Structure 1
Amino acid sequence: MIHQYKNNGFNIVLDVNSGSVHVVDDLVYDIIEVYERENKESIVNMMLAKYEGTEYCRKDIEEAIEEIEQLKEDGSLFTEDIYKDYIMDFKKRKTAVKALCLHIAHDCNLACRYCFADEGEYKGDKGMMSFEIGKQALDFLIANSGNRRNLEVDFFGGEPLMNFDVVKQLVRYGREQEKIHNKNFRFTLTTNGVLLNDDIMEFINEEMANVVLSVDGRKNVHDWMRPTRNGKGSYDLIMPKFQKLAESRGQKNYYVRGTFTHHNLDFADDVLHLADLGFEQISVEPVVAADDKEYAIKESDIQQVFDEYDKLAKALIEREKNGKGVNFFHFMIDLSGGPCVAKRLSGCGSGTEYLAVTPWGDLYPCHQFVGQEEFLMGNVFDGVKKTDIRDEFKLCNVYAKSKCKECFARFYCSGGCAANSYNFTGAINGTYDVGCELQKKRIECAIMMKAAKAQ
């Protein structure tokens, strides 16, 4: 499969199955477009007619065809899909749990308008995870991790700093268990910043491998979507703390993570605003919401979002040239290797390698399924009891989704988010169409930026 597109003056050809990227001139680009359906003489005549009066002659066209044939022979153009048979064994594969999302607090001190977690309550009751439940969750992770040494635990909410004493106790317990079981815990934390102080920052810097700082960008955008419980804006309260924390971590191992909505389709300005404030690790992502929500990204917004991604990509290229580069999460792409085959085909591992734990110890496939009782898999004391749910998630892959099979982006997005698919189609192997279109555009921009950097 070949995907061709033009962006920012580059003619880009992606060989989907090999992952090879070619930046070519107009002639080669046009020949590749017809190569598989026309014979050589027909291609020559087509190109002679198209480029009549230009510098290209028959010899140039024939040499371009030979170059394309050599690339095909070398296995970097028009390659076959070698993965579709591999996927048949996915349900049989043994999986080990390697990551938990601990819902340390089902409560929040903000009232974000777009919150999928119902302001931290996840369609249920407020509650804080006890140390005993958290301890059992870590024990469950260790017991079900097989021979994996590196384990990940994300402290999530709601707002986890509302239960910070338990966070500290669990980190301490985890460090003790590392030595006993020859494991290594990678702890992370997501926070809205309201309760951040110097003591908490010191602990985060000592113990958290990564921290996600929730902020939507410009003050007016952030304050509208992320007010406090009394309706006031939270930007002025959190921003100085976030800047201090990012600097204290050497501008590494964190993200400022925002959400853009229908109200700020000019989100490139939010990304650049955060960059101008000194943040070097930035993620601003599209809201996922049903069409009846006034802030939802709708099909009619897609072209404007596309234009904004193009604008942002060009701006980030210029910043890089001027020594002010930042990492924008959705434009980060590895063209040299990337994840293993299983990861490329099946994504995040939700429901199999990655599980979410509620404050009461219930297990769900991931944080976005929490509160949907049909996805309750078990608990940290008894383990996974509904293995049929786990088996269903094992088969969640790019070949199980009809729209993914012919999509150029499938090995980069790994089929997208199962929760989004379920919420929009009623099946984890469905596709969230708006999200797919935006994902494809981001991948195109990311590849173009690699091409620009290689110049």
Structure 2
Amino acid sequence: MNKGGRKFLYSIEDSGLYEIDDKIEQILALSGHTINELFIKLVKEKNMEVEEINNLLQMIYSAGLVLDSNSDETDSENMRLAALTLMVSQECNMKCAYCYGDGGEYNNKGKMSLETALRAVDYLIENSHDTKLAIAFLGGEPLLNFELIKEVVKYCRVKEPETGRTFSYTITTNGTLLTPEIENYLISNQIKTQISIDGPKEEHDQMRYFNKKKPSYTVVVDKTKSMREKNLLTARATLSPKNLDYIKTFEHLVDLGFRAVPIEPAKNLLSKTDSEIELAEYIRYLEYFKTHVKQGDFDVVNKMTDFVKAMGKIENAGKREYGCGAFHRMYAVDIDGSLYPCHRFVGIPEFCVGSIYQAQGKETEQWCNVDDRYKCSVCWLKNLCGGGCAYENYVENGSINITSSDFCQHMELLYSTIIDIFIEKNYINAKP
């Protein structure tokens, strides 16, 4: 691509963005050759010295822009278990309209026992080679089983010196059960806390409510006040047909004091017309982000974590064969100890991959590799988005390997915008 008289290259192989000169452009024009073949062609066809050719080829090979003659391997993320999501409560005190988990029950209502929870920790230790392990507490509403959470953390503290591992913790909660005791516990044990809240009161209460559609917004805001004032909470917002305004939602939650605000639409609720409106709002949100980056307003920018993560994927160029940790880096454990690729698959029998009471789960890495996904293997975005959410692919298309067309459209808009920002702000990877 050309911009302002300068030439840039986006490398599909390593997700890097590079500024190139005429000589490198000439070399890259000879695509489809190994590095040895390129050397021979350049010696024969180009007016370059052998030493200069060697230096240029070494630079672009190091950047992953050409293949070694024997190279057919990937430099992908380590594919080994490092995290568990514990479904500590498959019950919920709310009845949100868009819940994909059968009201938080995932077709199997109940709470996780202490025996199951501790065995899950042991399973993680036994089946991971990583020294840094992560546990996410989820539901349903996980704080309905708060005593169990405390026992899990206590057990992990004992296991850390015994095994040489360290544990980090996250929890996603609706926030309605927070108390000073729970708040102090979460803070003292450094449990990163995310609150499900959908923006302004009217929009939130139309989708997130208690039994008999009793509103929840005021309860959530009251219960989270102290932690928000300490800048300790992330908001997780879901857009619905009642509210598709990204900017309004983001600004409201930032004003409430949330330190970061990831936002996703509830795609299962959107009609074709809703999806068109949502796409227009997403484009407007991207421009909003771009404007704040240009202005250097990073207090705002850094709260837009979806976009910041996207920038990081280009800044830290590399291959990504998966859209997330599901199927290769993490499992979700249900209340009975069954294993699933992630929490969104819990309760779907065909995606049960084993049990914490078995030595090892099924081999699942091949289930969701981006190169096995329809359209993805030849897409310029494959090493950025990794093919998207396997669950959403499954719901929309009946297959984890057929990507959502809406998702692809969003990703192309997102990364085109990010690349424009990198070029305009000169945030370019070092020249190959």
TM-score range, shorter chain: 0.7 to 0.9
TM-score (norm 2): 0.79
For 2:305 and 2:229, how far apart are their aligned partners in 1? 19
For 2:224 and 2:273, how far apart are their aligned partners in 1? 27
Task: Indicate the SS of the match to 1:19.
Answer: coil
**C-alpha contact (below 8 Å) 2:313/2:384 kept by paired residues:** no
TM-score (norm 1): 0.76
Matched with 2:12 is: 16
For 2:90 and 2:371, how far apart are their aligned partners in 1? 36
Matched with 1:282 is: 261
For 1:11 and 1:259, how far apart are their aligned partners in 2? 39
Matched with 1:64 is: none
Distance of aligned partners of 1:12 and 1:21 in 2 relative to their CA distance in 1, 3 Å threshold: same
Task: Indicate the SS of the match to 2:254.
Answer: helix
Tell me by how many angstroms 1:5 deviates.
Answer: 9.9
For 1:363 and 1:451, how far apart are their aligned partners in 2? 44
Structure 1 stretch 414-423 or stretch 161-170: which is displaced more? 414-423
Distance of aligned partners of 1:335 and 1:103 in 2 relative to their CA distance in 1, 3 Å threshold: closer
Distance of aligned partners of 1:258 and 1:11 in 2 relative to their CA distance in 1, 3 Å threshold: farther
Task: Indicate the SS of the match to 1:161.
Answer: helix
Task: Indicate the SS of the match to 2:395.
Answer: helix
Tell me by how many angstroms 1:99 deviates.
Answer: 0.8
Q: Are 1:376 and 2:352 counterparts?
A: yes
Structure 1 stretch 99-108 or stretch 276-285: which is displaced more? 276-285
Task: Indicate the SS of the match to 2:212.
Answer: coil
Q: Are 1:165 and 2:165 counterparts?
A: no
**C-alpha contact (below 8 Å) 2:240/2:270 kept by paired residues:** no
Matched with 2:102 is: 118
Residues 39-438 of structure 1: pairs in structure 2 closer than 5 A: 75=60, 79-80=65-66, 85-87=72-74, 96-122=80-106, 124-145=107-128, 147-248=129-230, 251=231, 254-289=233-268, 293=269, 300-301=276-277, 303-314=279-290, 316-317=292-293, 320-321=296-297, 324-332=300-308, 333-334=311-312, 338=316, 341=319, 344-384=320-360, 387=362, 390-391=363-364, 393-438=365-410
For 1:365 and 1:99, how far apart are their aligned partners in 2? 11
Distance of aligned partners of 1:159 and 1:303 in 2 relative to their CA distance in 1, 3 Å threshold: closer
Tell me by how many angstroms 1:18 deviates.
Answer: 4.4
Matched with 2:37 is: none
> Is there any run of 5+ residues in structure 1 with no aligned partner, and where?
38-69
**C-alpha contact (below 8 Å) 2:135/2:170 kept by paired residues:** yes
| CA deviation profile, 1:245-286 (whole Å, cap 9, x unmatched) | 1332xx36x421111123322221111111222323111112
Matched with 1:43 is: none
**C-alpha contact (below 8 Å) 2:16/2:318 kept by paired residues:** no
Task: Indicate the SS of the match to 1:263.
Answer: coil
Tell me by how many angstroms 1:12 deviates.
Answer: 7.8
Task: Indicate the SS of the match to 1:282.
Answer: coil
Task: Indicate the SS of the match to 1:116.
Answer: coil
Matched with 1:441 is: 413
**C-alpha contact (below 8 Å) 1:280/1:325 kept by paired residues:** no
| CA deviation profile, 1:324-361 (whole Å, cap 9, x unmatched) | 554212101215653763xx112423233211111111
**C-alpha contact (below 8 Å) 2:91/2:104 kept by paired residues:** yes
For 1:110 and 1:277, how far apart are their aligned partners in 2? 22
**C-alpha contact (below 8 Å) 2:127/2:360 kept by paired residues:** no
Distance of aligned partners of 1:319 and 1:202 in 2 relative to their CA distance in 1, 3 Å threshold: farther
Task: Indicate the SS of the match to 1:155.
Answer: strand
Tell me by how many angstroms 1:109 deviates.
Answer: 1.1
For 1:405 and 1:361, how far apart are their aligned partners in 2? 35
**C-alpha contact (below 8 Å) 2:339/2:354 kept by paired residues:** yes
Residues 18-37 of structure 1: pairs in structure 2 closer than 5 A: 18-21=14-17
Distance of aligned partners of 1:79 and 1:148 in 2 relative to their CA distance in 1, 3 Å threshold: closer
Letter in 2 for 1:128: K
Letter in 2 for 1:177: K
For 1:21 and 1:195, how far apart are their aligned partners in 2? 46
Task: Indicate the SS of the match to 1:230.
Answer: helix
Structure 1 stretch 197-206 or stretch 156-165: which is displaced more? 197-206
For 1:215 and 1:84, how far apart are their aligned partners in 2? 48
Matched with 1:61 is: none
Tell me by how many angstroms 1:142 deviates.
Answer: 0.9
For 1:446 and 1:218, how far apart are their aligned partners in 2? 28
Tell me by how many angstroms 1:448 deviates.
Answer: 3.8
For 2:350 and 2:423, how far apart are their aligned partners in 1? 45
Distance of aligned partners of 1:310 and 1:12 in 2 relative to their CA distance in 1, 3 Å threshold: farther
Tell me by how many angstroms 1:211 deviates.
Answer: 1.6
Letter in 1 for 2:13: N
For 1:139 and 1:116, how far apart are their aligned partners in 2? 29
Tell me by how many angstroms 1:75 deviates.
Answer: 3.2
**C-alpha contact (below 8 Å) 1:266/1:308 kept by paired residues:** no
Tell me which of the two structures has the higher relative contact order, counting C-alpha pairs closer than 8 angstroms and 6 or more residues apart.
2
Tell me by how many angstroms 1:74 deviates.
Answer: 5.5
Structure 1 stretch 232-241 or stretch 368-377: which is displaced more? 232-241
| CA deviation profile, 1:219-267 (whole Å, cap 9, x unmatched) | 211111111223122111112433421332xx36x42111112332222
Tell me by how many angstroms 1:157 deviates.
Answer: 0.3
Tell me by how many angstroms 1:95 deviates.
Answer: 5.1
